[in-house]
Amino acid sequence: MPAKPRLAVVKFASCDGCQLSLLSLEDELLRLAGKIEVAYFLEATSRIEPGPYDVVLVEGSITTADDATRIQQLRRAAKYLITIGACATAGGIQALKNWADSEEYLRAVYARPDYIRTLATSTAIADHVAVDFELRGCPINKHQLLEVLRSLLAGCQPRTPTYSVCVECKRRGSVCVMVAHGTPCLGPVTQAGCGAICPAYDRGCYGCFGPSDQPNLVPLTDHLRSIGMTPEQVVNSLRGFSGYAGEFRRESERLVESIGTIATGVGAAAVEPDVADSSGEWGDGQPGGDPK
Which residues contact ligand SF4 by CB under 6 A? 165-166, 169-170, 174, 176-178, 185, 187-188, 190, 194, 196-199, 205-209
**CB 163 to another protein: min, Å:** 4
Q: At what angle do helices 217-226 and 246-259 cross, to 10 degrees?
A: 50
**CB 105 to another protein: min, Å:** 34
Q: Does 2 bind another protein (CB under 8 A)?
A: no
Residues 184, 189, 192, 197, Cα dihedral to 10°: 0
**Spatial separation of the C-alpha atoms in residues 21 and 66, rounded to whole Å:** 26
* Non-local CB neighbours of 108 within 8 Å, separated by 6+ positions: 266
Site size toward another protein, by CB under 8 A: 52
**Spatial separation of the C-alpha atoms in residues 179 and 280, rounded to whole Å:** 12
Is residue 35 a contact partner of residue 4, using CB atoms and an 8 Å limit? yes
| Residue number with CB closer to ligand SF4 (187 or 215) | 187
List 24, 69, 72, 216, residue binding another protein (CB under 8 A):
216
Q: Does 35 bind another protein (CB under 8 A)?
A: yes
Q: β-strand 53-59 against 6-11: which pairing, if any?
A: parallel
| Residue number with CB closer to ligand SF4 (5 or 243) | 243
Residues forming a β-bridge with 80: 55
**CB 267 to ligand SF4: min, Å:** 23
Binding interface with another protein (CB under 8 A): 28, 31-32, 35, 146, 150, 153-154, 159, 162-164, 166-167, 170-182, 185, 187-189, 202, 213-216, 218-220, 222-223, 277, 279-283, 288-292
